[in-house]
Amino acid sequence: MEHVDTHPVRPRRVLITGAGGQLGRALQEAFSDDDVLALRREDWDVASPPPAGLGPADLVLHAAAWTNVDGAEDDPQGAAAVNVGGTTHAAALGAPLVAFSSDYVFDGRKGAPYVESDSPAPLSAYGRTKLHGEAAAGESAWIVRSSWLFGPTGHNFVRTMLRLGAARDEVAVVDDQRGCPTYVGHLAEATRQVVELPFGTWHVAAAGDCTWAEFAEAIFEQAGLGCRVRRISSAAFGAKALRPAYSVLRSEKGAPELPHWRDGLAECLSRLGASRAAGEGE
Ligand SMILES: NC(=O)c1ccc[n+]([C@@H]2O[C@H](COP(=O)([O-])OP(=O)(O)OC[C@H]3O[C@@H](n4cnc5c(N)ncnc54)[C@H](OP(=O)(O)O)[C@@H]3O)[C@@H](O)[C@H]2O)c1
């Protein structure tokens, strides 16, 4: 006799913080088969405890963060309230937690890809808050370190270069920082695999590496923009926060491997083209 299940399994309830950010939006797409509760900053300022009535969650994807790296130098306590306090509050929900962290927890002096067992030594206030946030995530957590995120929405290097590249003949771009530009869509898809792995720290960044100047050249080339890139040093650029000169992330533990950053860039540009065509661009 055919077995009929009259008690279907309840869909997994996934709570996403920072749902208005570039990764938060990509996570909503990647987890769309689940019962997703997407919370933007106006729904929950994570620097405060969670609002009442959220209900139980099976999984928390904590993508809310203070991501203004230079701004954190001026207001390290404000950044800590979000990146450390916010992670404490997300962990207090009591569900398994994905806490996203950053290559900026490293000082960049290793000169070879950073793996999960390498010792962090952040150079910036932002990096310190992300490192302390990792500790605040607790034991039932996956710490997913990624780097140089970009996507079709929000503030990111690709969107900035598209804007500048359309308006100028030349842009000056830093050429002495090397990392892995990671497409948020690829990171969000990989996050579905990470939550099948044991709790702990996982490095999940795009394959390949480049400098910001090389990334800008690829953006202009793939977007068909004639803008030139003038390669400058971090010192000449003069950003407030120090950033690691080399922050390529790789996994020694078998984290999911992501496509090459050039493939992520192609996907991002095609999404932007599609949203421009639909009149949805931000
Ligand atoms: N961006 C990168 O290059 C990069 C690299 C490595 C790791 N990461 C990490 O990846 C994660 C996602 O970053 P992202 O690139 O998606 O950043 P993002 O686009 O700046 O998104 C962060 C989101 O968090 C929100 N937020 C800020 N303060 C908040 C608060 N107090 N309460 C609730 N929400 C708040 C922001 O809202 P508003 O827009 O209103 O401020 C924004 O929607 C973060 O943990 C980040 O540290 C980022």
**Cβ–ligand 1 contact at 247 (below 6 Å):** no
Instruction: List pLDDT tens digits, range 201-211.
Output: 999 999 999 99
For residue 67, the CA-to-ligand 1 centroid distance in Å is 5
Per-residue pLDDT of the chain (282 residues; tens, 9 = 90+): 445 556 667 889 999 999 999 999 999 999 999 999 999 999 999 999 999 999 899 999 999 999 999 999 999 999 999 999 999 999 999 999 999 999 999 999 999 999 999 999 999 999 999 999 999 999 999 999 999 999 999 999 999 999 999 999 999 999 999 999 999 999 999 999 999 999 999 999 999 999 999 999 999 999 999 999 999 999 999 999 999 999 999 999 999 999 999 999 999 999 998 344 334 444
Strand pairing of 200-203 and 35-39? unpaired
Torsion on CA atoms 33, 207, 243, 112, rounded to nearest 10: 140
Task: Indicate the SS3 state at residue 258.
Answer: coil
For residue 236, the SS3 value is helix
If 0-12 CB within 10 Å is exposed, 13-18 middle and 19+ buried, where does residue 206 land? buried
Residue of 41, 98, 161 to test ligand 1 pocket, by largest number of atoms within 8 Å of CB: 41
The alpha carbon of 21 and the centre of ligand 1 are apart by a number of angstroms equal to: 6
Q: What whole-number distance in Å separates Cα of residue 228 and Cα of residue 267?
A: 23
21 lines ligand 1 (CB under 6 A): yes
Probe target for ligand 1 pocket from 62, 149, 212, with the most ligand atoms within 8 Å of CB? 149
Residues contacting 126, CB < 8 A, separation 6+: 66, 67, 68, 69, 72, 73, 79, 83, 102, 104, 241
Distances (CA, A) of 64 to 17, 83, 183, 235: 5, 8, 17, 30
- pLDDT of 55 reads 85
> Is the CB of 181 inside a 6 Å radius of any atom of ligand 1?
no
Dist. CA 122–CA 135, nearest whole Å? 14
CA of 18 to the centre of ligand 1 (A): 6
pLDDT digits (tens, 9 = 90+) for 62-92: 999 999 999 999 999 999 999 999 999 999 9
| Structure tokens belonging to residue 10 | 């309840």
- Please, are residues 160 and 192 in contact by the beta-carbon 8 Å criterion? no
Tell me the three state secondary structure of residue 177. coil
Q: In this structure, what are the phi and psi dihedrals at residue 253, rounded to the nearest 5 degrees?
A: -115, 5
d(C-alpha 222, C-alpha 120), whole Å: 35
- The pTM (predicted TM-score) of the whole model is 0.95
Give the residue among 127, 44, 122, 118 at the shortest CA–CA distance from 83. Answer: 127
Q: Taking Cα atoms as reference points, which of 231, 227, 229 lies closest to residue 166?
A: 227
| Residue showing tokens 């203004």 | 68
DSSP H or E run through 182: strand 182-183
In whole angstroms, what is the distance from residue 184 CA to residue 43 CA?
A: 22
Through-space distance between the first and last CA atoms of the chain, rounded to whole angstroms: 55
For residue 85 and ligand 1, the question of a CB distance below 6 A is answered with no
DSSP-based three-state secondary structure for 70: helix
149 lines ligand 1 (CB under 6 A): yes
Q: Which alpha helices (H) appear in 137-260, and where do they start and end?
A: 157-167, 184-194, 212-223, 234-237
